[in-house]
Amino acid sequence: AQRVTQPEKLLSVFKGAPVELKCNYSYSGSPELFWYVQYSRQRLQLLLRHISRESIKGFTADLNKGETSFHLKKPFAQEEDSAMYYCALSNFGNEKLTFGTGTRLTIIP
């Protein structure tokens, strides 16, 4: 069965400091990994996906198949980054997303 683990429920980081939100997954095939974000009073939205290899709002995430990880990183945190972040996984051809339990990121001014 596929599973996504986000070990940190809460993470506080000072403005300007680097951010890393951890995500580990278990899946036997070739998964597609995503990060979703929910800002205060807004709906859940896609932040980035592994296959796009993009940097969105300064965030990047690298898929490490050896460590089965997809950590989200940003070199310099901004106050507007405060939000709930969910790592999610799907397998190609399957419409189902499996989410982690989420990490609430708070940027301290």
Question: Which residues lie near other proteins (CB under 8 A)?
Answer: 4, 9, 32, 34, 43-46, 49, 51, 86, 88, 90-102
- Which is nearer to other proteins, 49 or 73 (by Cβ)? 49
- Which is nearer to other proteins, 19 or 23 (by Cβ)? 23
Output the smallest distance, CB 56 to other proteins, in A: 12
Output the smallest distance, CB 109 to other proteins, in A: 26
DSSP 71: -
DSSP 69: B
- Which is nearer to other proteins, 47 or 107 (by Cβ)? 47
DSSP 97: -
Which residues contact residue 96 at a Cβ distance below 8 angstroms, ignoring those fewer than 6 apart? 90
Q: What are phi and psi of 21, to 5 degrees?
A: -105, 125
Output the smallest distance, CB 68 to other proteins, in A: 18
Do 26 and 68 form a contact (C-beta atoms < 8 A)?
Answer: yes
